[in-house]
Structure 1
Amino acid sequence: MGSIVQGFTKSLAMTFLSEIGDKTFFAAAILAMRYPRRLVLAGCLTALIVMTILSALVGMAAPNLISRKWTHHITTLLFFGFGLWSLWDGFREEGDSEELAEVEAELDSDLKKGGSTKENSKVEDEQKKQKRPFLTQFFSPIFLKAFSINFFGEWGDKSQLATIGLAADENPLGVILGGTVAQILCTTAAVIGGKSLASQISERIVALSGGILFIVFGIQSFLSPVEP
């Protein structure tokens, strides 16, 4: 089991490069342009932090179900696999704006189904604020929308599986702290910077950087002795 600092550093770098320019990053940026930023930020961050904690807990429990030798080898293979996957994505990237356009189209179709959701939610919020201002502020339909989009968007994602593997081989507390800090940085940048920032991010560079980082982690894990 590695130190908290080592787990924190690896998790911070891995999560940041995995999340910056990801679908959830674009979703947060677009939602922040249409709804109150504080609700979007709260919903997105809550979902991503909960997912980080759940993933780390699964990784922490893994050595109790499988021997530490096997979890170490599986984690090493995950790092190499995700590294090659990211490099492949970077080399075959057809256009940096494709994923942004895809997420925007999905959100647009969702808005059309809901009709004048934004206007209705404002009226409902004003009515409920008189009775439950605190709950209305943090558990509005906008909060739940941002939460659900990010939570289910992260489920089974490369960064989630990598967090599970990292927590199985490193200090889980360090992994949680590093992942949380990275999620706060990425999501806050998306919400504040908006679509303009999202459209300027080169997915190719991010994917290639992430791929190199994963492979470096894989090499380090391969060369590290298996702790009993």
Structure 2
Amino acid sequence: MSLTVIATAFALVLPVELPDKTLFASLVLATRFAPLPVFVGVGTAFGLQVAIAVTAGSLLSLLPEALVSGVVAVLFLVGAIVLWRSARSGPEDAGEAADVREQTSFLRAAAISFGVLFAAEWGDLSQLATAGLAARLDAPVSVFIGAWAALLTVSGLAVFLGAKLADRLPVALIRRVAAVLFLVFAVVAAVETVRTLT
């Protein structure tokens, strides 16, 4: 195990994930569910994604870029629609938001969080960066630890902020803003798909 490789992977992945879609997805999940199961689900999804990236190494970068960006565009478009529609049916004040978060079982909230992040992370820059590092450096365990630590840091910040926002802002507003962000990500991914095909 190499501390230099761990630090390199952490320093490479952290800034890539800070403005990323997965940060916003984690934040939105934390407005719907209790923070701990969201963090467990998201952290587990990130761990599996990092393990896949490290194992596959440079093979992930060989996937057709148009296919990856097209699937991501569809996923985010569906996410935007679901978020926008759920804003109308959600609780309107912070007290009700806390009650709704408490009604969802730990396992269900963790499983939903895992599924959302596992699907959203495919072909992500951090996954490709991790695969590239694993392909270049002969230290897969160190790359795994550094990349996963960076992703856990970002998801921890997002989950903490999401829980605090849900307690202070109307959930409907948070979901509508998130829906708009998801729509923007969908449009960007669709443009990338078209650009790749032409």
Name the TM tier (shorter chain).
0.5 to 0.7
Judged with a 3 Å threshold, the aligned counterparts in structure 2 of structure 1 residues 33 and 122 are, in CA distance, closer, same or farther, namely closer
Mark the runs of 5 or more structure 2 residues left unpaired by the alignment: 62-76, 91-96, 166-176, 178-198
In structure 1, give the amino acid aligned to 2:8: K
| TM-score, L = length of structure 1 | 0.53
Aligned to 2:136: 169
Give 1:107 deviation, angstroms. 4.8
One-letter code aligned to 1:182:
A
Q: Identity, % of aligned pairs? A: 29
Matched, 1:160 2:127: yes
Residue-by-residue CA offset, 1:59-108 (whole Å, 9 max, x unaligned): 2xx6xx9xxxxxxxx9xxxxxxxxxxxxxxxxxxxxxxxxxxx8983551
Distance in 1 between residues matched to 2:85 and 2:116, nearest whole Å = 11
Following TM superposition, by how much is the alpha carbon of 1:7 offset from its aligned partner in structure 2, in angstroms?
Answer: 1.7
Task: Tell me which of the two structures has the higher relative contact order, counting C-alpha pairs closer than 8 angstroms and 6 or more residues apart.
Answer: 1
User: Is the CA contact 2:27–2:161 (under 8 Å) kept in the aligned structure 1?
Assistant: yes
1:35 paired residue among 33, 36, 39: 33
Which residue identity does 2:31 align to in structure 1?
M
Moved segments of 4+, more than 2 Å: 102-107, 109-112, 118-123
Match of 1:46 among 32, 44, 47: 44
Return the index of the structure with the highest Cα Rg: 1
Indicate which of 23, 26, 29 corresponds to 1:25.
23
Cα gap change, 1:188 to 1:107, in 2 (>3 Å): farther
TM-score (norm 2): 0.60
Specify the code of the residue in structure 2 equivalent to 1:179: A
For 1:104 and 1:38, locate their aligned partners in 2 and report how far apart those are by CA, in whole Å: 22
Q: Which residue of 2 aligns with 1:129?
A: none
Gaps of 5+ in 1: 66-73, 75-101, 126-135, 200-228
Q: Map 1:84-95 to 2 at 5 A.
A: none
| Equivalent residue, structure 2, for 1:5 | 3
CA shift digits 1:122-171 (9 cap, x unpaired): 76x5xxxxxxxxxx53x31x222211111111101111111111011121
In structure 2, distance between residues paired with 1:145 and 1:109: 18
| Residue in structure 1 matched with residue 151 of structure 2 by the alignment | 183
CA–CA distance in structure 1, aligned partners of residues 18 and 80 of structure 2: 20
Partner amino acid for 1:7? Answer: V
Kept after mapping to 2: 8 A contact 1:26/1:103: no
1:156 is paired with a residue whose SS is coil
Measured after TM superposition, the shift of residue 110 of structure 1 is 6.6
Kept after mapping to 2: 8 A contact 1:56/1:176: yes
One-letter code aligned to 1:32:
A
Could you say what secondary structure the match of 1:41 adopts? Answer: helix
Please give the alpha-carbon distance, in whole angstroms, between the structure 1 residues aligned to 2:81 and 2:44.
22
5 Å matches for 1:125-204?
137=106, 139-140=107-108, 142-170=109-137, 171-194=139-162
Report the RMSD for the aligned CA atoms in angstroms: 3.4
CA distance in structure 1 between the aligned counterparts of 2:118 and 2:9, rounded to whole angstroms: 18
